[in-house]
Every structure is written in C-alpha cells, then in structure tokens.
Amino acid sequence: MKAVVYDAYGPPDVLHIQEAERPVPNEDDVLIKVYATTVNRLDVHTREANRSSGPAISVLSRLMSGVRRPRQRILGSEFAGVVEAVGATAGEFAPGDRVFGTSGLRFGAYAEYMCTRASARVALMPEGLSFEEAAPICDGALNALTCLKAGDLRQGRTILIYGASGAIGTAGVQLATYFGADVTAVCGTKNLELVKSLGADRVIDYLHEDFTQNGQTYDVIFDAVGKHSFARSRGSLKPGGVYLPTDGFSNLTWALWTSRFGDKKVVFQIPPRQTKEDVLFLKGLVEAGKFRPVIDRRRPLEDVVEATRYVETEQKVGNVVLTVGGRND
C-alpha cells in the first residue's frame, strides 16, 4: 500500500511517500481503508521528537516513540474511511461500515490502510458527513472536551477561551456553548467573525485588547493554544476559578501547587484521558447539529510535507485535512 513514512526525527521533509506493507488485523482489530486523515499538532510534535519543547521533554518523547528512530514509521492519528475487514472478536463493526476516529499515539493513518482495535476510539461516521468532514472531528474536540470536563460548564458559568481559532479552540467554543456556559472567545482580528459564528457570546481581539486588563472575571479560563499562562490570567479568574491549559509543562507544577494552596486551581491532565464514549458523544453532537469541525484546507496525502509546514506556522484555523485515494462521498 502507499504510505507516508519517516525513519528519522526532524523537519517536515523527513516525511516521504513509500510502498509499505498492508497491516493485518489482529482478532480484536478492524482494518480500515483510509480516505481522509489530518495533520495535527500531535503528528508535528512527534515527528520532531518534541524538540521545540526543550531537551527534557524531547527525551521523554523519544522514550515513548523510539529512542534513536521512530518505532511507528507511519504518522497520522485522525482518520475516516471504510472497514475492509474485521478480526474474530471485533464484531461491533462489519466490512463496508463508514468509520472515523483517532488512533492517538499509535498513529498509522497516513496510509491507504490502517488497523485499530474495535474497542478503541473509533465509531460509525455521523450521518450526512463526507470522509473529509469526519476525519477532523476527534483531535481538537477530544482535547477540548477532556479539559472542559474539569470546568463544570453549565448555564450561569462563565468561560474565557484563549486561542479560540485553532483546532482545540474552535471545538472548545462549540462545546462550551453546547454546555450552556457564557463564552468569551479571544483570537486575532482575522478570525473574529468565524469564532462568533461558532457560538461565542462575545469575542476579544488580542491584537487590540488585553483581556487581563479590562476588569472582567471568569469562572473558567481555557488556554486552548498554549500561549497564555496562569500567572498572567490569575487576576481574571473569579474566586474558586479554574485555569485549564493545553500545553506547557510548568502547568504541572502549577497544578500541584494550586491543589494545596489558594482558591484558584490549575487543572492539567497528562496524558489526557479520552475514551470511545467521548467519540460517540461527539458523533451525537455532530448529528444534532451542535458541533462541526472547522476545516482550514484540504490537500492530497502526497502534499503532506507542504501541509505539515503550514501546520507548523501555528496559524491554521481549525484543521488541515489530507485526502487519501480520491474518494469523498
């Protein structure tokens, strides 16, 4: 089968198209013919062994993914496609089923075929969605959902979402709106209209206004893009407020410290716990018209290097989709 592989950690051009062996499903696996996948920050960080996060994190990353070279040569975590075959105990699915999901750190989706356990984060595709629309459902939304669960969002609660235009941010705005919270979203000028259209009650342009200086306070501050900090936003939290980061290992120290001292908490879950039930929850939201992943651009799998370079600019709006095999019904 055709696949994008890499044999060394490094810049985007370590990725190249190659013939690879088609995976064979174990008895609890489904074999999926992939029609769409994405380039997300998990792919990008893993490919460069998290070098940009500093030497300590890079060592940890290599311990997980392969010390000298990547153990899993095929990246790609999000997928949408059609079940080709099922193992003996994977009876939840049948050949011909249209499915979507995420393989997380197991990767394997930058290929014509991939295997995943039937009990893992895979589900039937929401009715009425194309493969390109279904592939980017999971990454941003599962990361947002994991964080927001700690925010006890409901009617009457206020949340500020910083970095509301990324994969996690665009999903976070829609989920927080669904949970009934009052949502203030922060993003750059060019994305204000989009973020408002996702359900935010109000938007702040961080290029023209510093939300920490306007006197407003919130029950929850969600840094969906890893560009803010608890120290800077503490004054904008109400008493008993919660700060939810998505990145930055200093937040682990803050989480420990605030669990013992002070009434404002940092909650940082590493690794994030994401389940099949969460994927089914998202499927239900999509079918109810309450959530739709935002797609910045679509490119064929062959353009993976260019698409990856774009994701590394940290300027994508929502998600970048890769199409595989030219089918998109």
Ligand X SMILES: NC(=O)c1ccc[n+]([C@@H]2O[C@H](COP(=O)([O-])OP(=O)(O)OC[C@H]3O[C@@H](n4cnc5c(N)ncnc54)[C@H](OP(=O)(O)O)[C@@H]3O)[C@@H](O)[C@H]2O)c1
Q: Which residues bind ligand X (CB under 6 A)?
A: 40-42, 139-140, 143, 163, 165-169, 187-188, 191, 206, 224-227, 246-247, 314-317
Which residues touch 139 (CB under 8 Å, ≥6 apart)? 38, 40, 42, 77, 78, 102, 167, 319
Residue 20 vs 49, nearer CB to ligand X = 49
* Sheet strands (E) in 198-309: 202-205, 218-223, 237-245, 265-266, 295-300
Report angle CA 35, 294, 226 to the nearest 5 degrees.
110
Q: Give the CA distances from residue 186 to residues 15, 197, 208, 243, in Å, rounded to whole numbers and listed in that order.
A: 34, 13, 11, 15
Residue 83 vs 200, nearer CB to ligand X = 200
Min CB(41)–ligand X separation in Å = 4
Min CB(168)–ligand X separation in Å = 3
Q: Which residue is at the shortest CB distance from ligand X?
A: 166
Cα–Cα distance measured from residue 185 to residue 318, given in angstroms and rounded to the nearest whole number: 14
Min CB(224)–ligand X separation in Å = 6
Min CB(309)–ligand X separation in Å = 13
Quick one: which of 270, 315, 282, 324 has its CA closest to 41?
A: 315
Q: Which residue type does 43 have?
A: D
Residue 18 vs 229, nearer CB to ligand X = 229
Residue 247 vs 287, nearer CB to ligand X = 247
Min CB(64)–ligand X separation in Å = 14
Cα–Cα distance measured from residue 167 to residue 44, given in angstroms and rounded to the nearest whole number: 14
Min CB(24)–ligand X separation in Å = 28
Chain centre to alpha carbon of residue 312: 15
27 CB neighbour count, 10 Å cutoff: 10
Residue 93 vs 162, nearer CB to ligand X = 162
Residue 87 vs 318, nearer CB to ligand X = 318
57 CB neighbour count, 10 Å cutoff: 15
Residue 32 vs 203, nearer CB to ligand X = 203
Min CB(23)–ligand X separation in Å = 22
DSSP label at residue 181: -
